[in-house]
């Protein structure tokens, strides 16, 4: 059911995207300055909603801080990433600009702290991160996106000294790959692309699930080489009841000055 890549149009960009996979082991070689400048400039060229430019990224170069990131993420390899970023949704400079223009940022007049702006800034940060990830892959580097840094969001905010109207979104670890994981299977397209409206027949939409479950179960995950990967349905069932108490966002988001009730 998955479209064979031979059915598709190919060029360098498309092939980079079709071959992307998460890399979680890096050679201990530094990334040169020109590459860093290229990746950061590419990220800046991503689209930004209403041109708010409401994201930033912190490059973590201090080994002790990298180690801390690995502890937050419960993933030791994070400390070994030659290039490590934390992308941040960031209305802080825009708030300063607004203030300089005479806007009272503590008042309800100031709306860059509202829920829609928070989501917009998060989208923009993710788009920038993804542009950087794609560029890195196209240069033969490997990457992994790191949601795990948010396991300890208070610690992360504190460690990075994140000010008012900022919030960490995701990490991105980059380096020369020191592993060659298989491509992870993707869902049949019909389960994710619909026409004109959301399908009303769940049973029909989920019809190819058994086949996908099997493909995922056969996937060989280098992280758990001793056992087969759970079928997709089993992964979802586990995730559907995972304890998310430590990930509740209302309090830390409010502490950063955002008003998600507005």
Ligand X SMILES: Cc1cc2nc3c(=O)[nH]c(=O)nc-3n(C[C@H](O)[C@H](O)[C@H](O)COP(=O)(O)O)c2cc1C
List interacting residues with ligand X (CB under 6 A): 21-22, 24, 73, 75, 144-148, 170, 184
Measured from the CB of residue 49, what is the shortest distance to ligand X in angstroms?
Answer: 19
Residue 144 φ/ψ, nearest 5 degrees: -140, 140
Q: Choose between 97 and 119: whose C-beta lies nearer to ligand X.
A: 119
In whole angstroms, what is the distance from residue 169 CA to residue 124 CA? Answer: 10
The residue (of 75 and 159) whose beta carbon lies closer to ligand X is: 75
Cβ proximity to ligand X: between 63 and 147 the closer is 147
Closer CB to ligand X, 87 or 110, in the complex: 87
Which lies closer to ligand X via its Cβ, residue 24 or residue 113? 24
CA–CA dist 249, 240 (Å, integer) = 18
- Choose among 261, 238, 241: nearest CA to 251: 261
Query: In whole angstroms, how close is the CB of 22 to ligand X at the nearest point?
Result: 4
The residue among 262, 230, 261, 258 whose CA lies nearest residue 105 is 258
Distance of closest approach, residue 201 Cβ to ligand X, in angstroms: 28
- As measured in angstroms, the least distance from the Cβ of 47 to ligand X is 18
Compute the least distance from the CB of residue 192 to ligand X, in Å: 14
CB of 182 to ligand X, least distance (A): 9
At its nearest, how many Å lie between ligand X and the CB of residue 8?
A: 17
Nearest-angstrom CA–CA distance, 241 and 218: 24
Strands 55-59 and 142-146: unpaired
Taking the CB of residue 212, how many other CB atoms lie within 10 A of it?
20
What would the DSSP string read from start to end of 79-103? GG-SEEEEEEEE-HHHHHHHHHTT-
Nearer to ligand X among residue 142 and residue 257 (C-beta): 142
* Burial 148-161, CB ≥16 within 10 A → b, else e: bbbbbbeebbebbe
* Distance in angstroms (rounded) separating the CA atoms of residues 62 and 59: 9
- CB nearer to ligand X: pick between 112 and 128: 128
Question: What is the DSSP code string of 50-67?
Answer: GG---EEEEE---HHHHH
């Amino acid at each position: 059911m998955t479209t064979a890549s031979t059915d598709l149009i190919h060029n360098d960009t498309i092939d980079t995207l079709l071959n992307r996979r998460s890399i979680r082991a890096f050679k201990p070689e530094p990334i040169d300055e020109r590459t860093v400048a290229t990746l950061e400039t590419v990220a800046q060229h991503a689209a930004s909603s209403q041109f708010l430019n409401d994201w930033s990224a912190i490059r973590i170069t201090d080994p002790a801080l990298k180690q801390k990131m690995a502890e937050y993420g419960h993933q030791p390899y994070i400390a070994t990433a030659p290039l490590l970023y934390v992308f941040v949704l960031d209305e802080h400079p825009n708030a300063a600009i607004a203030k300089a223009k005479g806007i009272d940022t503590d008042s309800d007049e100031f709306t860059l702290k509202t829920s829609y702006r928070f989501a917009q800034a998060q989208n923009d940060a993710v788009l920038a991160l993804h542009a950087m990830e794609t560029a890195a892959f196209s240069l033969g580097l490997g990457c992994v996106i790191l949601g795990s840094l948010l396991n300890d969001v208070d610690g992360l905010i504190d460690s990075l000294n994140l000010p008012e109207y900022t919030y960490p979104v995701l990490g991105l670890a980059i380096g020369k790959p020191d592993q060659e994981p298989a491509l992870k299977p993707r869902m049949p397209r019909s389960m994710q692309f619909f026409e004109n409206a959301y399908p009303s027949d769940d049973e029909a939409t989920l019809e190819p699930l058994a086949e996908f479950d099997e493909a995922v179960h056969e996937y060989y995950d280098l992280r758990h080489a001793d056992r087969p990967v759970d079928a997709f349905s089993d992964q979802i069932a586990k995730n559907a009841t995972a304890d998310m108490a430590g990930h509740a966002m209302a309090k830390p988001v409010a502490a950063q000055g955002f008003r998600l009730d507005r």
